[in-house]
Amino acid sequence: MTDSSDEALVLTVDRGDAGKRLDILLADQPQIGSRAEAQRLITSGLVSVDGAERKKNYRVDHGELIEVRIPPPELSTLEPEEMDLTVPYEDDNLLVVDKPAGIVTHPAKGHATGTLVHGLLGRSIAGGENPQRPGIIHRLDKDTSGLLIVAKDDDTHRHLSQALSRHKIERTYFCLVHGQFATREGTIEAPLGRDSHERQQMAVTRRGGRDAVTHFRVMESWSGRGGAGKALAASTGKGSQGYSLLEVRLETGRTHQIRVHLASIGHSVAGDSVYGRRRDELGLGRQFLHSARLRFTHPATGEIVDVSSPLPRDLQLVLDQLRQH
């Protein structure tokens, strides 16, 4: 490929790149950095091939001249907010934050303030295409607690995002689910997409879904016949099928993946009123789901970063109650 300027990126297609999709070719350029951004530029009419606009799936040919107009980055309008946050790991390139339950990861509709991003702005977080989500590599649901990686510059954000998409970041969760398992471990492979009836929710779908893989291991279990089960039956008027504490490892990271996958096999997450039971038998007030460990290669140093987070007090108290019974 050949040269670029401050206002435009000019590429000449090499023999080795002939036949590639236009969006994939552009995603490899440092000035663009991702396939999503490449597609945004293409659909905005900011990309031409030999003077003509092409679709994102256009196959480029040797010698073609590609011109990309890159608009200046949008300026963030976010203001930092004071928050009491635990940051178990931090250096000049990135940080790992332990997100409390009840906080939204980044600004979204209905959440213009009070997000995790607002609480981290004072730590020089940066990187990524969206000025409302500086540094965010992945996110956790509002009522899910635990560890998140946040970048401090574009290069780190790009490398970590690529590592995430290539399944190079190990993410381990603890969750309590309804019921017991016949085996000690298993894998759920089922594509996820928007629920056709409830568009704000996700569902296992065979058409239009994205591949999703969840691995789990049973750590502890409690039958519905013991003291805990009888106590629940007395309080709810229904029998209990017991509970299982799982260690869950994500291979992919789709929206609500753990909650939907486990519910799809009849083991909804305790306290999850969206994909599970509406009655919160254990008095949790939120889903029992915690991002407990992150392990990845540092993009600048090449060293392994391995961070763990203990269960928050509200979840630990529920486990203690089950163990006592």
Count CB neighbours of 55 within 10 A.
Answer: 12
Residue 256 per-residue DSSP state: T
Q: Which tokens in the block code for residue 189?
A: 């492979």
Kindly provide the residue ranges of all beta strands, DSSP E only, lying in the chain, ordered along the sequence: 8-12, 47-49, 65-69, 86-90, 94-99, 145-151, 170-178, 185-189, 192-194, 202-204, 213-222, 243-250, 289-297, 304-308
Residues with a catalytic annotation lie at 141
Contact in structure between 125 and 95 (CB atoms under 8 Å): yes
> DSSP secondary structure string, 99-153?
EPTT--SS-BTTBSSS-HHHHHGGGT-B-SS-TTSTTBSS---TT-EEEEEEEBS
Specify the 3-state DSSP secondary structure of 289: strand
